[in-house]
Amino acid sequence: MSDPFALPSADAADPALQEAIRDVEKQFGIMIVKTRKSILSRAAAIHPELQPMGFKVLTILSQSGPIQQVALAHNVDADKAAMSRTIKQLEALGLVERTPDPSDGRAHLVAMTGEARTRFDDTQSQARRVLYDRLSAWDAGEVRRFADLLDRLNISTD
């Protein structure tokens, strides 16, 4: 089995392609740092004590609606104990609430509180505005091409 992270031998790869890929790698690195800063800022806007893991949970809840704790753990790739601690912290901050799952008496559904939903939606609107401001200077065709390329990259990494 070949190593998916191994680079091709120097004579097998086009030097221009290698340089372009290094540039992409550099830009991804910059984007990751900016994304982490954005997540910290958005989390703090929701609640000053909200941690990135809690922000991930709220992001999933914003998309899924009420969901069982075990499904949340699966979605963020966390173990049950870590998810339990995160949910307890979010409850203490008034950002989520648990209710019995009517379809499974042993389980609870976790849902965002109304206040958490309002604050999350506000940060989502601000993030969308930043993205719009950055891309609105581009031609619509460039934005479509960018979206298509990102989609192609995301599909190829599943």
pLDDT level of residue 4 (50, 70, 90 thresholds): low
Which pair of structure tokens corresponds to residue 86? 């995160």
Question: Which 3 state secondary structure label does DSSP give 51?
Answer: coil
Q: Angle formed by the axes of helices 15-46 and 52-64, to 10°? A: 90
For the entire predicted model, the pTM comes to 0.80
pLDDT tens-digit map of 109-149: 999 999 999 999 999 999 999 999 999 999 999 999 999 99
Please answer whether residues 133 and 126 qualify as being in contact, where contact means their C-beta atoms are separated by less than 8 angstroms. Answer: no
- CA–CA distance, 116 with 84 (Å, rounded to integer): 18
pLDDT tens-digit map of 30-88: 999 999 999 999 999 999 999 999 999 999 999 999 999 999 999 999 999 999 999 99
